[in-house]
Amino acid sequence: MIDLDFCSADELLLRRRSLRRELSAVDGLQELRIAVLGGSTTDQIVTTLEIFLLAAGFQPVFHQSEYGRYYDDAVYDPQTLIDFRPNLVYIHTSCRNVRNLPPLNCTESQLPGYVETELNRFKEIWDSLDARVGCQVIQNNFEMPPHAILGNMDAVAAGGENRFLMELNVAFAREATRRPRLLLQDVHGISAKVGLRNWFDWTLFFNFKLLLQPAANLELARSLNAMIQAIYGKSRKVLVLDLDNTLWGGTIGDDGVDKILIGRETPQAEAYTAFQEYCLSLRNRGILLAICSKNDEDIAKAGFSHPDSILKLEHISCFKANWEPKHENIALIAKELNLGVDSFVFVDDNPAERAIVQAQIPGVAVPDIGNDVTHYAEVIQAARYFEPASLSREDRERAALYASNLQRADQAATFNNYGEYLDSLDMSAEIDSFKPVYLERIAQLTNKTNQFNLTSRRYTLAEMEVAMRDRNTIALYGKLSDRFGDNGLISIVLGRRDGDTVHIDLWLMSCRVLKRSMETAMLDALAERALGMGVKVVRGNYLPTAKNSMVADHYSRLGFQPCPQPSLPEGATAWQLNLTGYVRKNSHIRVLEYTHV
């Protein structure tokens, strides 16, 4: 199969049908309903996007508006959209769809009014979709126009189209920060990388209303695929790095610390420094860095003591330097970080090592970075492995959270009794009903957590908002802190009341707080809420997946009893807990607050 991350438009078009047949035959695809509202004909981008989504594990079902009806279908006649029940709506517009351009004699004082008028037209679309469809929306911002009528002044004059579109893009960005359900696709940035000469196809447009060239559609499809994967928690989380000729030039075991190429003294050394700066910037926004090198550990670690090394040992979440096969070390890294290998990107200048890892560990992304360090960051960035849908405090502090977990692991080794170890952590939890301020993080965690997820159901932000307002739903979040630091919001329970029974639709927890007794604290809160609503029984199902076997005995450990249901899928189990005489189970965590009913 071709590498979709780096294939050309011609390659994809040539093999599109065979790829679709091959990828559609894979078992376990997740249905995803996407409505595409187009300011131009959208057939090409939809067929390209379909291939990417199939490869990502989705079974996309598309609804496309007729040409140019993106506004009408959203605002005037949304019933077709409502009936389609999309999981997300993509508004595929371009600079040609802008309706309120200022005249050439526009003044600086008049320009904001034109921007506001055009912004309001799109706000009507977003408001209507929010109220009537209630799902995630992806909206294009605007590329620059094909012609700058005023030349360089087009970016300066109040009546310049370039200036107007730049102002409108800023207004869109500000609006997106106020609308959790609205995500912007940066078409302005994507078109700048592709180049406007390779963007528009005027022959196709005037004949068939297909505005973009195949290369442009390909890059938009890659971008959309990355955004959708981010929404559903499938973005990569770990960058695994080789050392010699990857993070620095030369072989540290032969050349020594003083002779490796790093710093600002030569062009090649500066290129390695720039790549380290790129890796550190990823780490600072929440991507974990790991080392996997064939080397003696002490010698390998010495490279980070080089005075010009941007990366330091404290930036590395897991370090494996030995003479074992790299694919075995990557498996160990995954185990230590408690993350699936499908969240890993492996970067190594050696093509043989890349080939072995790719063959031995399906799921790991292994970009062909070549052996020229000046292109490493460009290749990684082009594949959009680490695309975020949002940037929470937990994201920014993820590396520090994993570092704290290593401290906790070291602490555990000093206790013979595990209960004493838990008490020594001095844990405190905040458990409460969903709050608007946490909804983005709640939706993000829902779509990221796989191992500790009893049903592996996915919820959009819109669905979480509905749950928060439903008086017959118990929607709880849990935050956990201890003496090593704040773990943030790490657990969610959703229970739906039906008479005197609560059915647990979702129970999940971040893997970084496993075996810390948080599940008992969450059950105590759930039981108290349920009893306050007159509920007598709590029921929950375990639906097995390839990743959540670790919670197969979750309900039995908490005292639930089996209650067989013939309608469940093969391997699934059903459980119930009688709340009569319920006794609190948590004894190691101090619960700071949760609202009593």
- List the end-to-end C-alpha distance of the chain, in Å, as a whole number: 56
DSSP-derived secondary structure letter, 75: I
Look at residue 513 in the predicted model and tell me its pLDDT.
79
In 3-state terms the chain splits into helix, strand, coil percentages (rounded to 5) of: 45, 20, 35
**Please, where are the H alpha helices in 361-460?**
376-382, 393-396, 398-412, 418-424, 439-448
What is the predicted pLDDT for the residue at 338? 84
**Token pair for 43:** 């057939």
Q: What confidence score (pLDDT) does residue 596 get?
A: 45
The amino acid that residue 93 corresponds to is T
| Helix segments in 285-412, DSSP class H | 297-302, 326-337, 351-360, 376-382, 393-396, 398-412
**Separation between Cα atoms, residue 132 and residue 497, nearest integer Å:** 25
Q: Which residues contact 175 (CB under 8 A, 6 or more apart)?
A: 119, 123, 126, 182
d(CA 352, CA 326): 11
* Cβ neighbour number for residue 7 with a 10 Å cutoff: 18
Residues 489 and 479: beta-carbon distance below 8 Å? yes
pLDDT at site 597: 41
Token pair for residue 272? 């390695």
The answer to whether 559 and 585 are in contact (CB under 8 A) is yes
| CA 249/CA 269 separation, integer angstroms | 7
**Neighbouring-strand partners of residue 537:** 501, 578
Per-residue pLDDT of the chain (597 residues; tens, 9 = 90+): 678 888 999 999 889 999 999 999 998 899 999 999 999 999 999 999 999 999 999 999 999 999 999 999 999 999 999 999 999 999 999 999 999 999 999 999 999 999 999 999 999 999 999 999 989 999 999 999 999 999 999 999 999 999 999 999 999 999 999 998 899 999 999 999 999 999 999 999 999 999 999 999 999 999 999 999 998 888 999 999 999 999 999 999 988 999 999 999 899 999 999 999 999 999 999 899 999 999 999 999 999 999 999 999 999 999 999 999 999 999 999 988 888 899 999 999 999 999 999 999 999 999 999 999 999 999 999 999 999 887 666 666 656 666 655 555 555 556 666 888 888 888 999 999 999 888 888 888 887 766 788 888 888 777 888 889 899 999 999 999 888 778 889 899 999 999 999 999 999 998 777 778 899 999 999 999 999 999 999 999 999 887 788 889 999 999 999 998 888 888 899 999 999 999 999 989 999 865 444
Nearest to 34 by CA among 93, 85, 94, 92: 85
CA distances to 199, 235, 369, 373, 472 from 378, rounded to whole Å, are 20, 18, 9, 10, 50
And the tokens for 46?
């939809």
Residues 6+ apart with CB under 8 A from 473: 467, 494, 495, 496, 497
Asked if residue 73 lies in contact with residue 93, where contact means CB atoms within 8 angstroms, the answer is: no
Rounded to 5 degrees, φ, ψ at 303 are -60, -30
